[in-house]
Structure 1
Amino acid sequence: MRTSNPALRANSLTRYRSISGYSETMTIQGAVNKSLLLIFILTLAAVWMWNRFFTEGPQVVMPFVILGAIGGLITAIITIFKNNFATVTAPLYALFEGLVIGGVSSLAEAAYPGIAFQAVVLTIGTLVALLFAYKTGLVRATQKFKSGVIAATGGVCLIYMTSMILGLFHIQIPFLFSGVIGLGFSVVVTAIAALNLVLDFDLIEQSAAAHAPKFMEWYGAFALLVTLVWLYLEILRLLQILRSIGDD
């Protein structure tokens, strides 16, 4: 069992099952409860940022966005390599990413009123639709399916990394993030991000069946939140491109 989400590697979620000292084991319901709690923490931080943006201006919130981005990256790396720290680092990750989501959403909302609400609704809708498809067997996480999503996600990461490196030298990849070509690319990336949810559902379910230790509920919730944050940001960017094309 593999996943393109680096936070949800099969060996990460199951390697503790044979270690003594962990009497309680992971359950799907426990992972769901932790996921809802992390989403709640993220939402509180995002709403706080949103209110500060529209009452005090972007110059006040931007330092918090930078703090959230750096803090989120650090806590994510720690959580991935030290899974048993997830009980502490997962809530911190949610808090940091809430700062990022709130700041980015506020900036987008200022430019395109109503866009943040649309992105939230589409993200929730995508999550519910794919969860339903997974639970009813309409979408199955077969090995071929997993390999395809992994390869596609790796390709997206490579493109983003290349774009970031070129950006340091003030070089932009033409039309990649704007216009009709940018729209098509954004649709593909959003679809890939959404399909990662299926892999996450499958791995959490399989790990619970393998009796992973209790703290892995936090780790599974963290991994799912990583995908949801990515999906939301991709949907937000897709909507921004659509709005910009419509304004031309």
Structure 2
Amino acid sequence: MIFALAVIGCAVFTTYAAGLFFCQKSRETGVFLALGATRCQLQKEMNKELLLLSVGSCAAGTLLGGPLAWCVWQLFRCFLVDSQEMVLTFDPGAYGISFGFTLYVVTMLFALGSQSISRTNIMDVVQESHTSEPIRDVKRWYGPLGIVLVVAGAAAGYLIPGFFIRVLHRYAPSVVDVVFYFPALVGMYMILLHTVVNGWHKRHKYRDIIATSMMKFQGRQTVRNMLVMTLLIAGAYFAAFYAPMLCTN
């Protein structure tokens, strides 16, 4: 679960960052189109840049991953558990995971880059970074309802497996946990959306004006960033529970 959260969080954050990258690069692309550059020329140059950035960064991460894992493992043995069974073993097949993630990053970047170049309206491309994001009106009840959904989803996801064992005398299918925890994820999104758009305290009216103006341009970006951070922090908290479990009988 920890590994899945880390991979999903990194994949979502990489896609999110790539979207911001192409949004900022759209002005440069539009200027070149206005000056007479062909889309084929721009696509060729952008592909070179994307290939260098993606493959170079993923290769560096792959090479540094081994030493980092060794350092983390030594700290784990030093502060938590140290025994004969705690010897770190390395499987070369692990590089297959890095290769798969690299393939995802390269494919995603090339797809977004091709979509960015294929736009036909030059003025829309030039002004993209200055265009406000369409955001719907977020009602005040989003926050309280989100809290209710988080509590209900967490309680249901925690209690349902016990219900299956005690009442139905069988283990719950793995999909049951996903279904009953899902309201908690929806509630978390509603809480974050309410926090970013409305806030929980009444502020000075001038600050409200500034916040509303900023939200028109960065509302979705802010919420997505908070969701990715929440996902990664949840994985870190889940991993932290292993420390007290290993230090006690």
Query: Is TM > 0.5 for Structure 1 vs Structure 2?
Result: no
Q: Which has the larger radius of gyration?
A: 2
Q: TM-score, length-normalised on structure 2?
A: 0.28
Q: Which has the higher contact order (CA 8 A, sep 6+)?
A: 1
Q: TM-score, normalised by structure 1?
A: 0.28
